[in-house]
Amino acid sequence: MTITPILLCGGSGTRLWPLSRKSYPKQFVPLMGEETLFQASAKRLTGQGDGFEFGAPVVLTNSDFRFIVTEQLQAVGIDPGAIVIEPEGRNTAPAVLAAALHAQARDPEAVLLVAPSDHVVPDVAAFHAAIARGLEAVRAGQLVTFGITPSHAETAYGYLELADAPQATGAAVALKKFVEKPDAARAADMLAAGNFKWNAGIFLFAAKDIIAAFRAHAGDLIAPVEAALQQAQADLGFLRLAPEPWGQAADISIDYAVMEHADNLSVVPFDAAWSDLGGWDAVWRESGPDAQGVVASAGATAIDCRDTLLRSESERLEVVGIGLDGIIAVAMNDAVLVADKSRAQDVKKAVSALKAKGATQATAFPKDHRPWGWFESLVVGGRFQVKRILVHPGASLSLQSHFHRSEHWIVVEGTARVTVDDEVKLVTENESVYIPLGAVHRMENPGRVPMVLIEVQTGSYVGEDDIVRYEDVYART
């Protein structure tokens, strides 16, 4: 049997601020090693297990992340399947329905595994074995979810109450009910009871069965989602859902829309390690604290600390903690978080407070990722800005001009092909070029290694919206 992975890839991950932000959320960040959470999730849903194999993935994301998704999949050797662009976030119910309708149109008997793209599951073989057990229930027309065996009394997760005690075989068990995030006392009681599992938000079902469930329990979603698919536009290999009908779909999770009402829901218990990295306390726990309970990144030093997480996300910043107990400290070029570890779930309050005061650090990542590479602002003044820009091999910025600024480009790594009006020339390391205000220009990397340059902008306005595009290989407007 072939299973089509459906990767949900549009969340913002505010509880892992400042590393995770709206413009570059946690799934794209290498939080637990060299690979990003998205890459690890995609790799986990490749290959084959007992009685099944994975097909090409379907990724649901938003327009800002579409090229990041493609780049990160290709970097780990996964050929991107369908990448469906949501015009706006409408929660998981419309996203899952769109994926199911999309898959069923291509295969009426399609079987789907729906998973978030920001979870940690170290034991891939155990996960594949759980999927194989779930397929037995799927063949019987069941909607399957995976319940994680709790390792502690967690208040940040919803729970699944099983109708019967888990079987030794690990086979699917009927679900009695969903349980909202509990307080500490209730979480301890459920841990002791033994028939409660964490709700991982991972699902396995036939496309036809989940569509039938939507028709039965959330019929108002069918028309707008079907219309969004029927009116979708192909764009450079992406499928853009039509914005007008998509915006009419209710903003609701699949649990509330369908799962809490379905009578054919089964739970496959999963006893191996799992985390959704829903806070810095989870990152601390999953990173393997030392004997003193300390986790320190390469750019961090802990002296006489206990139960503490120290991370530096900048090559230019060294973080040092002395005598700390139960502290989270995360430093980036533009923001630093210091919090009591017991208050990890309140980090999202910091994001809200920063938004209220208009701080760009609330949502904007220091590196602005584009389809051709990335840039970061090094210095910003009243009438100037200095950037570091990296362009991937073979990539090209748009042919463009500016109304309010001129630019100086100094190549520091690799070779650039530069167009300025009618002149095209190669600029190598330690060479520079001047772009006058109003000149039509383009930067390309014709080489096989990344090209890095320093850009100095001067003018009355240096905002990113001062741009007129004439040609763009990435079809941006």
Band the pLDDT of 477: cuts 50, 70, 90. low
Please return the burial class of 4, using the count of CB atoms within 10 Å of its CB with bins 0-12, 13-18 and 19+: buried
Point out which residues pair with 87 in neighbouring strands: none
**pLDDT above 80: residue 475:** no
Which tokens go with 474?
């990435």
Who has greater pLDDT, 343 or 236? Answer: 343
User: Contact, 299 vs 319, CB < 8 A?
Assistant: yes
The pLDDT value recorded for residue 79 is 84
Handedness of CA 14, 385, 411, 64 (dihedral sign): positive
Please state, in angstroms and rounded to a whole number, the distance separating the CA atoms of residues 186 and 361: 36
CATH superfamily of domain region 2-270: Spore Coat Polysaccharide Biosynthesis Protein SpsA; Chain A (3.90.550.10)
The pLDDT value recorded for residue 14 is 87
Q: What is the mean pLDDT of residues 207-230?
A: 97
**pLDDT above 70: residue 410:** yes
In this structure, the number of other CB atoms found within 10 A of the CB of residue 281 comes to 24
The pLDDT value recorded for residue 170 is 83
Please state, in angstroms and rounded to a whole number, the distance separating the CA atoms of residues 36 and 477: 29
Q: Which helix (H) or strand (E) holds 222?
A: helix 222-230
| pLDDT digits 0-9 by tens, 240-286 | 999 999 999 999 999 999 999 999 999 999 999 999 998 999 999 99
Residue 152 is classified by DSSP as S
Please state, in angstroms and rounded to a whole number, the distance separating the CA atoms of residues 4 and 161: 28
**pLDDT above 80: residue 11:** no
| pLDDT digits 0-9 by tens, 115-132 | 999 999 999 999 999 999
Please state, in angstroms and rounded to a whole number, the distance separating the CA atoms of residues 357 and 231: 40
Band the pLDDT of 64: cuts 50, 70, 90. confident
Please state, in angstroms and rounded to a whole number, the distance separating the CA atoms of residues 139 and 146: 16
Please state, in angstroms and rounded to a whole number, the distance separating the CA atoms of residues 459 and 473: 27
Please state, in angstroms and rounded to a whole number, the distance separating the CA atoms of residues 344 and 278: 9
| pLDDT digits 0-9 by tens, 316-335 | 899 999 999 999 999 999 99
Backbone angles phi, psi at 251, to 5 degrees: -90, 95
The pLDDT value recorded for residue 327 is 98
The structural domains of the chain, with segments of one domain joined by +, span 2-270, 280-353, 367-471
Mean pLDDT, rounded, of the chain: 94
CATH number of this structure's domain 367-471, picked from the four choices 3.10.450.50, 3.30.479.30, 2.60.120.10, 1.10.460.10: 2.60.120.10
